[in-house]
Structures are given as structure tokens and as C-alpha cells.
Chains A and B, each alone.
Chain A
Amino acid sequence: MTTYYSEDHEWINVESGVGTVGITDYAQNALGDIVFVEVPEVGDELAKGDEVAVVESVKAASEIYSPVTGEITAVNEDLEDNASLVNSSAGGDGWFFKISISDDSELEGLMDADGYKTFTAGLE
């Protein structure tokens, strides 16, 4: 199981060709108190970079883009009533969706944990 990170502040945790996707702790901290997450529907087919979800904080809406091409296989239903899970557990219970990965080579363009740490340090 390997976790990759995108420059759009998503993480994707890959296991047996399926990626679980959420936003990073850095992202939830920047967005502030999250009040609503619009997740995709199971069966949605997405290309890498497509808008796949929307995160609403008190002050603004932010789009989330799919880090890979594939089909949605599951979404986190718990976010419907408890969007603040993204604040309290961005890398865990606050996951957004699972996606079957069509092209493993797309993962190569993503960062590992150390790379992402360096990337966010450069944003400060």
C-alpha cells in the first residue's frame, strides 16, 4: 500500500489497483471549518484532472480534481452528515471516494510523502 500526493493537495492511497482519495491535512487546515462535501457518484468515470468533488467551508467552495483516470467504486457516505470529519481526520475517516485506477503510470507524476512535505514547505 502506497500513498501519493498531488500538487492540488489530495492524497491517494493505492491498494490492488484501487485508490482511496482525500485531501491533505495541509489542505483542510487552509480551508478552515468544512461544512459540506459534494462527493461523486459510484460509477462516475473521470479523467485525471476532472472536477470530482467540492469542499465547502464557511467562507468558500473549493473544487477537488481527480488525481487519476478511473471509475468511482465507493464514496464516503459519512461526510453527508458530518463534513467536519475532513477537519478532524483528513487522512483517515475524512476520505472522499475510491477510484479504480485505469493507468498506473499516472501515479508516477505524483509525489511521495517526503516530496509533498518539501512541496508544502515551499508554499509557506
Chain B
Amino acid sequence: MSVENSDLLKTPLYSLHESLGGKMVPFAGYLMPVQYPLGVMGEHNHTREKAGLFDVSHMGQVVISGENADQWLETLVPGNIIDLKQNRIRYTMFTDDNGGILDDLMITRRENDIFMVVNAGCKAEDIAHMRATMPDHLELTELNDRALVALQGPLAAEVLARFTSGADEMDFMSYGEVEICGAKCFISRCGYTGEDGHEISILAANAEEVCNALLGEPEVEAIGLGARDSLRLEAGLCLYGHDITTKTSPIEGALQWSIGKRRREQGGFPGADKILGQLASGDIARKRVGILPAGRAPAREGTEILDAGDNVIGVITSGGFGPTFGAPIAMGYVDLKYSAAETPIFLQVRKKKLEAKVANMPFVAQNYYRKPK
């Protein structure tokens, strides 16, 4: 590892990770826990069965305030932000003029401003990208003084409601400002595991106390980045820099669901001509799909995808073992004509050509909260 640990940043929860026995590794410029003594498999399964607490403080938390911030933001993202209701959250992405993806992010409309969460590895570029076109009357604030954690799993909302009543009745993809253990927190009913739960933004000074309180509940275990990766892969969710990049468009990335009707009609975001052209014609060279290897061998990122005649028809962008699925799973890009579910394909794993097939995602059913009507 060329990066010296001393150059790496620490989140406000670093000492908590150490006291919990977290195995700390470099990730996106931060020292982060890849796993705790429970281990990746145990942590993954615990999150699917009960509730897991993840430190995602390395991600960027940004607030944009000022009049018509939503209109300006729509010049950078294909998501419908203008019509986003107060306290609602939307998944979208920064696109570039070639129709590639600069980052994917969550945008929340709050009472007086817009709150966003961006990827750790992109946050500096994202902020520079926004500042480059941001009108003078708007203000961009990076919330460096806040930690961000995710409490995820089928029992996560029930646990959180013990600290702030009503948390379990919030809609999926909605936002609220509450007190937990006396600390003011922003809570968002979303996450990146395919499970129900919340992301919780906490002032750094209060983060350890809040996390210790949550970890004190019998259903909750601390979960590292290893299980976060296997959980999101089973849920069919993209990892930026791997499954989506500047070389992939939102249409190739199978993210067209995130582009609302009005934006499809009006465009007005970087790369709109190309992206909306692909959307209208369906004319894309390749598409992101789920992949199921036939045997027990996982196929990792970078694995070439072949047809029966050994021609390269794609590449795996995320791959591993799905603990809940109980077998290897992957996602990657294949030439469009191979993208239908059940299409037989082959994977070049080291010296062996392994059988596989294209599969629908998610691999494990998403378990998001739906409010009773």
C-alpha cells in the first residue's frame, strides 16, 4: 500500500471503530472499518436479519441554500428536483457533457435549502463542479462537522423509534429533523443495503454517544464496509467508480428510472442530447445487467465476459459472493444483444471459462418500508 496511514483521514467515529475491534483499511482517503470481529458474512447476515450500524461519515454532506437552488441544480442532474416535495429525497446523478456519470447522489429538499449526500471519492470534484456554475446568490456549505451513519435492517426503524418516536412511520425516501440522545439529527429513511432503515446525520461531537446508544440495543451490531459491499451488490445497487463511471451513461447503467417525465421532455442537463437520444431510440452498445455464475467460484471486478465463441462481450464491474443469496453474484456490462435475462454467457475466471447467465436484479428482494394506505 503506497498510501501511508498518516495521510488518511479519520471519521469522528474512528476511536469507536478501534474500541469495537474494527479492522481499519484505506478507503477513498479515509481509514474505515472493513469488518469487525463478527466478520463480513456474520455482519451481512445480521443486517439482513436484524439491524446493522454503518459509519458512512466519509461521504460528503453538502447544503445548497438560496433562491431557486433547485432550478440551478437541474442544470447539473437529470433528476426532477423542482417538483421534489419538502422533506422528500431523490436519487440522481451528476452527468457530464458526454452523457457519462460524474457521481451519483441523494438530494433532499428541506424547508429552507437543499441537502445532498455524495460519494466520498467524488466529493472534492463534485463541489468544484457545482461551484463552477453556481450563481453568486447561492451558498454551498460542506457539513464537515457532521458524522453520517446508516442504521439498516428489518428491525432498524423499530430500534430508531425507541430514541425518536415516529421514526418507524416515516415514508421511504423521506427526511426529518429529530433529537436522538439530546443531539439534533437529520434522519433520512433510505440507505444502500436493500433493507429498510435510516441514514442519520449527527454533529461530530455527538456521534459517538449516539452510536453507542444505538449499539446498546440488543438488535444492533456494528457493520463494516465489506458487508456494505455484499449487501448493496445483492440489492443490485451501483458502486460509483465501478458499476457507473464517466464512461457509462445513465441509460447504459440501467438508471433511466431516475429520470423523471418532465426532464425527459425538457432535457436541460449535461449530456441530455446523448442520454435522451439513447432513451428514445434504445440504441446503446452495452447495458448493465445482473450475472449469475453457474458454479461456486466468484467472478470479481474486471472479469471478462465471453460468448460461446470466446469473443469478449463485456466485463464484470462488481462481483463476489452473496451471503443471503447463497451463491456467487455479479453485475457488469454486456453488449446489448446479450442483455436479456437468462441469456447464457461465459466468464473468464483465471484460466477457466465458466458458465454463467444474465439475471434480473436485485438478487435479494428489496425490503423498503411502504406506509400502509
Q: Are B44 and A38 in contact (CB under 8 A)?
A: no
Q: Are B41 and A58 in contact (CB under 8 A)?
A: yes
Q: Are A33 and B39 in contact (CB under 8 A)?
A: yes
Q: Are A32 and B296 in contact (CB under 8 A)?
A: no
6 A-B pairs (CB sep. < 8 Å): A32-B41, A33-B41, A56-B321, A57-B40, A58-B226, A59-B226
User: Is B298 in the interface zone, CB < 8 Å from A?
Assistant: yes
User: Is A83 in the interface zone, CB < 8 Å from B?
Assistant: yes
Q: Are A61 and B298 in contact (CB under 8 A)?
A: yes
Contact with A along B276-309 (1 / 0, CB 8 A): 0000000000000000000011101000000000
A residues with CB within 8 A of B: 32-33, 35-36, 38, 54, 56-61, 80-81, 83
Contact with A along B206-235 (1 / 0, CB 8 A): 000000000000000000001101100000
Residues of A within 8 A of B298 (CB): 35-36, 56, 61
A54-B321 in contact given A32-B39, A80-B296 (Cβ < 8 Å)? no
Residues of B within 8 A of A60 (CB): 300
Which residue of chain A has its CB nearest to the CB of B326?
A: A35
Q: Are A35 and B300 in contact (CB under 8 A)?
A: no
With both chains docked as a complex, state the minimum distance between the C-beta of B45 and any C-beta of chain A, in angstroms.
Answer: 10
Residues of B within 8 A of A83 (CB): 296
Residues of A within 8 A of B328 (CB): 35-36
B residues with CB within 8 A of A: 34-35, 39-42, 44, 226-227, 229-230, 296-298, 300, 320-321, 323, 328, 350
With both chains docked as a complex, state the minimum distance between the C-beta of A50 and any C-beta of chain B, in angstroms.
Answer: 13
Residues of A within 8 A of B230 (CB): 58-59
Which residue of chain A has its CB nearest to the CB of B224?
A: A59
Q: Are A38 and B350 in contact (CB under 8 A)?
A: yes
Chain B contact residues: helix, strand, loop or mixed: mixed
A65 to B160, CA, bound (A): 48
Residues of A within 8 A of B229 (CB): 59
With both chains docked as a complex, state the minimum distance between the C-beta of A31 and any C-beta of chain B, in angstroms.
Answer: 10
Instruction: Return the contact of B296 from the options A35, A54, A61 (Cβ within 8 A).
Output: A35
Residues of A within 8 A of B320 (CB): 58-59
Q: Are A33 and B296 in contact (CB under 8 A)?
A: no
Which residue of chain B has its CB nearest to the CB of A54?
A: B350
Residues of B within 8 A of A33 (CB): 39-42, 323
Residues of B within 8 A of A36 (CB): 296-298, 321, 328
Residues of A within 8 A of B297 (CB): 36, 38, 56
Q: Are A32 and B350 in contact (CB under 8 A)?
A: no
Which residue of chain A has its CB nearest to the CB of B321?
A: A35
Most A-side CB within 10 Å, residue of B230, B296, B328:
B296
Instruction: Return the contact of B300 from the options A38, A61, A80 (Cβ within 8 A).
Output: A61
A61 to B39, CA, bound (A): 16
A32 to B41, CA, bound (A): 8
Q: Are A58 and B350 in contact (CB under 8 A)?
A: no
A42 to B247, CA, bound (A): 43
A59 to B102, CA, bound (A): 26
Residues of A within 8 A of B39 (CB): 32-33
With both chains docked as a complex, state the minimum distance between the C-beta of A96 and any C-beta of chain B, in angstroms.
Answer: 15
Most B-side CB within 10 Å, residue of A56, A58, A61:
A58
A35 to B194, CA, bound (A): 22
The 4 closest A-B pairs by CB, nearest first: A33-B41, A35-B321, A58-B40, A59-B226
Residues of B within 8 A of A57 (CB): 40
Which residue of chain B has its CB nearest to the CB of A38?
A: B297
Residues of B within 8 A of A56 (CB): 297-298, 321
A75 to B230, CA, bound (A): 30
A36 to B298, CA, bound (A): 8
A30 to B226, CA, bound (A): 14
Residues of B within 8 A of A38 (CB): 297, 350
Which residue of chain A has its CB nearest to the CB of B298?
A: A56
